[in-house]
Amino acid sequence: MKIIIQTPDIKARETLLNFVTEKVEKLGTLSDQLLEARVTLRLDKSDTRENKICVIKGVIPGNDLFVEKQATSFEEATLKSVETMKRQISDWKAKKSAQTEAQ
């Protein structure tokens, strides 16, 4: 699985990029159909402390999965996004399995 990390408008630390890569790589073990994960880390222009956003777009043939989570740190937003993406992959696999059995 290919992982692309984008950080528009911010200069990300190497430790943050390594953390994101480590967590997102685990998604690849859930399905061999997941070809690519595009991760975008950005800041929300709000006055609240929860202004760090992590967006993950999972590329699966014929289907794309999308998650966007906001938190007080990029690490926390990444963890929330990865957990939600795991559920989406699980749901997608169950739906695909049900369609295969129906045929």
CA distance 4 to 91: 24
Per-residue pLDDT tens over the stretch 39-96? 999 998 877 788 899 999 999 988 899 999 999 999 999 999 999 999 999 999 898 8
Q: Measure the CA–CA gap between 89 and 46, rounded to whole angstroms.
A: 31
> By the 8 A CB rule, do 69 and 54 touch?
yes
Q: Which two tokens stand for residue 73?
A: 């740190």
**Are 89 and 58 contacting, i.e. CB atoms less than 8 angstroms apart?**
yes
| CATH of the domain spanning 2-102 | 3.30.160.100
Report residue 7's pLDDT band, with 50, 70 and 90 as the boundaries. Answer: very high
Q: pTM for this structure? A: 0.90
Which residue type is seen at 89?
I
Q: Where are the domains of the chain?
A: 2-102
SS3 103: coil
User: Residue 89 has what pLDDT?
Assistant: 92
Q: Strands, E, within 24-62: which ranges? A: 36-43, 52-60
Query: Six-digit token pair at 44?
Result: 């929300």
